Amino acid sequence: MTSEYTKAEKKRIWIVLLLCLAVVLLFFLSLMVGSSGMSVSDCLQALMKQGSAVNNRILWNIRIPRALAAVIAGAGLAMSGLVMQTGLNNSMASPSTLGVTNAAVFGANLSIIVFAGGFLTTGNNFHNFDTAANPYATSLMAFLFSLLSVLMILGLCSLRSFSPNVVVLAGIAMGSLWTAATTILQFYATDVGLSAAVIWNFGDLGRATYRTDGIMAATVALGFVFFYGMRWIYNALLSGDITAGTMGISVGTIRFLALLVSAIVTAVCVSFLGIIGFVGIICPHIVKRLWGQDHRLTIPASALTGSILLLLADTFARSLGNGSALPVGAITSALGGPFFLLLIFSGRGRGKC
């Protein structure tokens, strides 16, 4: 038994180390891709701050914050998706299950259309919109509405002891309400406000800065510490609520905390970067199919796989942008959707995730 346990531990360590190596390699690869025409040698010189002033600014002020955002947000979204799937015992659960992304979109649209670029203040004056728009205010509004949505759903579901089916249905219903409210806001918006709101909805890593990366990194790191500290409890939840209850686990409390922390991590990432779909659902599936469902491995592996997927998607988006990067959220959906369907309908996909 000791020998088998030691082998399993070594296997987990090697898997995590290889995934870390892949993240590092893709991180540096992403720094070499862009529309500026910088060669590999130019990028290396700029990385050491020995290149031209323009190249140094491009690398350190644009590409590095963008690549860091891909690593951090990818990890946070994938890790949150895994915990939501475990907490709700639903393989199709994702950060959008609780209406987090829908609420974030409404909050951002409210900030942009009503308070920055819409019919109450700046109207159609582009100059006024440019001077009045506050990206941090928009992110804060998106986060607050995401958090409000989660608390409302969890509060309602507490009446039914956090039944997973009730949580999912409540999340769908709440997400529909936020979407309807967003549509009404956009209907009454001016051209300027509507354009700005629609652009915000795109998942865009280009808006990342060192400050936003720092905030996301702190949130994702705290979320990882919390999730990994609960890894044994999440393993127990895989056996079902009744079995977990016989082990002395308060299933309702654990489910509440898991969903709340997952939603907060997701809300912070979404509020700064916009909607980046698919990462929170496909990455946990890939990890579970390759290496099983032991959360001692799936939590760090899902986080690293999310970083890998988002780095790949962003690198691909910038290589196709013809001078400007495509929205990374569109790339993750376009690349991930067909792959996910293949995963579901393949021979290995017939079993339960």
Percent of the residues in the chain that have a pLDDT greater than 70, as a whole number: 88
User: Residue 1 has what pLDDT?
Assistant: 57
The CATH code that applies to domain 11-350 is: 1.10.3470.10
Instruction: Kindly list the averaged pLDDT for each block of 10 residues, start to end, along the chain of length 353.
Output: 78 95 96 85 92 92 95 96 91 81 91 65 45 69 91 82 81 92 90 83 88 96 97 92 88 90 93 89 91 94 96 88 74 77 61 45
pLDDT tens string 195-209: 888 888 888 898 899
Would you state the structure tokens that stand for residue 249, as one six-digit string? 């686990």
Q: Which two tokens stand for residue 174?
A: 């709440």
pLDDT score, position 338: 80
Check residue 351 and give its pLDDT: 45
Q: Spell out the domain ranges in the chain.
A: 11-350
Instruction: List Cβ neighbours of 150 (8 Å cut-off, separation of 6 or more).
Output: 98, 99, 100, 103, 259, 260, 263, 264, 267
116: which 2 tokens?
């920055």
pTM of structure: 0.90
Which residues are 202's β-sheet partners?
275
Spatial contact of 299 and 352, defined as CB atoms under 8 Å apart: no
Measure the CA–CA gap between 40 and 51, rounded to whole angstroms: 12
Supply the DSSP string of 57-102, one letter for each residue: HIIIIIIHHHHHHHHHHHHHHHHHHHHHHHHHT-TT--TTTTTHHH
CA distance 189 to 53: 41
Contact assessment for residue 168 and residue 88, using Cβ atoms and an 8 Å cutoff: yes
d(CA 275, CA 287) in angstroms, rounded, equals: 23
User: What confidence score (pLDDT) does residue 120 get?
Assistant: 44
Which residues share a beta bridge with 275? 202
For residue 80, CA distances in Å to 209, 261, 299 come to: 23, 8, 9
Classify 37 in phi/psi space as left (phi over 0), alpha (psi -120 to 50) or beta. Answer: left
Return d(Cα 303, Cα 313) in angstroms, integer.
Answer: 15
- At residue 330's C-alpha, the angle toward residues 140 and 312, to 5°, is 95
- pLDDT score recorded for residue 145: 94
Bridge-partner residues for 29, per DSSP? none
